Amino acid sequence: MSQDKKVVFITGANTGLGLEIVNALYKSTQSYDIIAGSRLVSNGEAAVAAVQQEIPSSSSSLSVVQLDLASDESIKKAVKNIESKFGRLDVLVNNGGAGFDGALRDSQLSIREAWNKSWDTNVAGTQVLTSEAIPLLLKSRQPRLIFITSGTSALAFTERFDHPALQRINASPAPGWPKPKEINPIESYRSAKTGLNMMMRQWHRILLNDGVKVWAISPGFLATNLGNVGIEQMKKMGARDPSEGGNFVKGVIEGERDSEVGKVVGATGIQTW
């Protein structure tokens, strides 16, 4: 490990936006020690190998750490592994998350199970990891803490219908019960990301005098397999290439939004609450 390289830990990094962030940082002209968090090490190693094959020359390093946000034991072990290998953490990207509304719609989970899983993965697990990682972040000269949120999380957006995506997610169904099944239900996911925004604000308050720069990033509607809707279906619904999200997060890591700490930042500006 070089002291000149920033140590970056990205959760949920073996697929989707997390992998795109890894890709963008590995291509960067800046040098990083990139740590990819993955529930299954084999999946993480396969993803890292694919990045290295695509980008054969880089000044950055890539490694994998096992991380399950639903397990406190896994979280603590991951942080200890990072500490033993790198001694500090310069950037924590809390990207790991999941959607369970589709499983609820298809009766694979009960209401309580789906909502508990959503909040446990997207909020509680992220809170535990952040709490465990703070001592390592405070050893950095320029610590950064990032939470990946969603454009669906803004309360103000629930009253807007000026974009096709907002028209779809904010539309009210016809009267009667039960309601028709939705292609991409997001009730528990959307609510959890709103909770994540408040969590980010609390960390901004708590760490302000420690010099930790904190943001939530709203990467936009990306064609990932979140919620198991399917990438092609997501594209039909207007989702953008996930590489755009990866490059945007890289920009925040590299200082492009330093004047907007404590906010939810997106490609088009600061996202309203």
Mind listing the pLDDT tens digit for each residue in 71-112?
A: 999 999 999 999 999 999 999 999 999 999 999 999 999 999
Active-site position among 60, 150, 153, 218: 150
- In this prediction the pTM is 0.92
The average confidence (pLDDT) of the chain is 92
* DSSP bridge partners of 240: 222
The crossing angle, in degrees rounded to 10, of helices 16-27 and 242-253 is 60
> What pLDDT, on a 0 to 100 scale, did the predictor assign at position 62?
97
238 confidence band (pLDDT: 50, 70, 90): low
Q: Do the Cβ atoms of 101 and 186 come closer than 8 Å?
A: yes
> What pLDDT, on a 0 to 100 scale, did the predictor assign at position 144?
98
> What pLDDT, on a 0 to 100 scale, did the predictor assign at position 224?
60
231 confidence band (pLDDT: 50, 70, 90): low
Is 150 assigned a catalytic role? yes
Backbone angles phi and psi of 202, in degrees to 5: -70, -40
245 confidence band (pLDDT: 50, 70, 90): confident
61 confidence band (pLDDT: 50, 70, 90): very high
| pLDDT greater than 70 at residue 198 | yes
Active-site position among 28, 74, 118, 193: 193
Q: Does domain 6-270 have CATH number 3.20.10.10?
A: no
Q: Which of 4-8, 165-169, 250-254 is predicted least confidently?
A: 165-169
Region of residue 228 (phi > 0: left; psi between -120 and 50: alpha; otherwise: beta): left
Mean pLDDT of 230-235: 54
Is 189 assigned a catalytic role? yes
Active-site position among 189, 213, 218, 250: 189
